[in-house]
Amino acid sequence: MTLKRPTQSAAQVSPQTIWMLAVRDQRDKAAFAALFDYFAPRLKGFVMRSGARSAMAEDIVQDVMLTVWRKAAQFDPARAQVSAWIYQIARNRQIDVIRKESRPMPELLEVEPDAECDASVIVEVEQEAAVLKQALAQLKPGQRDIVERAYLGEFSHQEISAQTGLPLGTIKSRIRLGLERLRHELKELR
Amino acid sequence: MSAIHHHTPDALLAAYATGSLPLPFAVVVAAHTSLCTRCRSVYEAHQVAGGVVLETGSRTDVSGDLKTRTLDLLDAPMVTEASYERAGILPGPVMQALKGKPPRWKPIGMGVRQSIISSGNAGSVRLLSIPPGQAVPDHSHHGLELTLVLQGSFSDETGRYGVGDLEVADDTLEHTPIAGEGEPCICLAATDAPLRFTSLVPRLLQRVFRI
């Protein structure tokens, strides 16, 4: 699979990323409201698919969106697009509510505040996500269902050890990109 | 830091990234992904896939006033959560599990010391400190055992493990890890069941020390 070289144009950056950066850098409430309109129904659907009732699901949606506002400084569009970042917040909140556990997270890598993030870097991250989206869309329905259940956190113990279900092949190019990014960021930190 | 040779298997990383991994193992995998760029990038790739599932999945309308109620809370004072940073050789997730307190080491014989971080139905996670050249008694496990080296090194039948390396063992492995020369070997170890020692005396000690 080959990717087109991204152009320098900021116009290709998704609206979600633009809203998220406005929330992060300008504390822009209108941009937050736009993020809410986009993500709240998706979050509610996501949470309800793992069994939460409507009222509890809305509590989780609200908590997740408030965390998006409060932890916006941790959002780094050069490493993950908005939905990936929000996915993690949503799973953490679910685990907190359902299992009453605080999920251990990897150490944060610092987002360099002055480093003006090149739009082409953001576009590249988003294009990788688009490739992944396509790969998931092309799975057979049964397989896609397994993948969805896995990301909803419904991996059985057996599935974990048997390593079935996840199309690791489909995330390989994303892994490569992530690795390049991390090496780059760590080099700048050290 | 020397290169990391023994990584978290992809299936465990997937289980961790999707929030399916029981807490004791999640602490170890979180610590390993804090040290290892390769595993961190796999973890982040899974997050992207999770984001795609979130974005493309079914939508359910929220109540009419949820947005206003949420917007009204944006200026409310925040409850600041404690955030835990690396302390010496202990990665942030270990400090998080210790709630920021230093480990409480207890001797368990033969110069080996342990600090139990948590122990419950989902398994246990602990720090172990093994003097240079010392062997950890022969043991087998009921289930999965993850061991992450934080200082020094150890070797067993499966290879040599240095700082950042993760050993994955299951019921089939009976191994005798021996700490390398130099500094004491400090490891973070998680099991989903108590370790079983194969000789009688350690087995008796096991009840006493909850190894």
Q: Where do the DSSP E strands lie in A43-168?
A: none
Give the model confidence (pLDDT) of B92-147 as tens digits: 999 999 999 999 999 988 889 999 998 887 788 999 999 999 987 655 566 788 99
Bin B199: left if φ > 0, else alpha if -120 < ψ < 50, else beta.
Answer: beta
> Taking CB atoms and an 8 Å limit, are A155 and B15 in contact across chains?
yes
Phi first, then psi: give them for residue A50, nearest 5 degrees: -95, 20
Number of domains in chain B: 1
Instruction: List all residues 6 or more positions away from A53 whose beta carbon is below 8 Å from its beta carbon.
Output: none
ipTM value greater than 0.90? no
Res. B13: pLDDT tops 60: yes
What lies within 8 Å, CB to CB, of A19 at 6+ separation is A28, A31, A32, A34, A35, A38, A82
Q: Which of A48, A87, A110, A179 best probes binding to B when mutated, by most B CB atoms within 10 angstroms?
A: A87
CA A101 from centroid of its chain's CA atoms: 21
Closest CA to B194 of B181, B204, B180, B179: B204
Q: Which domain holds residue B4?
A: 1-211
Q: pTM for the whole thing?
A: 0.85
Which helix (H) or strand (E) segment is A118 a member of? none
Distance from CA of A171 to the nearest CA of B (A): 6
Between A67 and A108, the higher pLDDT residue: A67
Which residues from chain A sit within 8 angstroms of residue B15, using beta carbons?
A: 155, 160
Interface check B44 vs A, CB under 8 A? yes
Q: Which residue does chain B place closest to A78, by CA atoms?
A: B44
Output the domain CATH number for residue B151: 2.60.120.10
Find the residue in A nearest to B87 (Cα): A107
Q: Which residues of chain A are within 8 Å of residue B56 when distances are taken between CB atoms?
A: 133, 136-137
Find chain A residues with C-beta within 8 A of B20's C-beta: 150, 153-155, 160
Task: Give the strands of the sheet with B166-169, arranged side by side.
Answer: B106-107, B113-120, B123-130, B185-191, B145-151, B166-169
Q: Which domains does chain A have, with CATH numbers?
A: 14-110 (1.10.1740.10), 117-190 (1.10.10)
pLDDT at A167: 52
Q: Does B110 touch chain A (CB under 8 A)?
A: no
End-to-end CA distance of chain A: 33
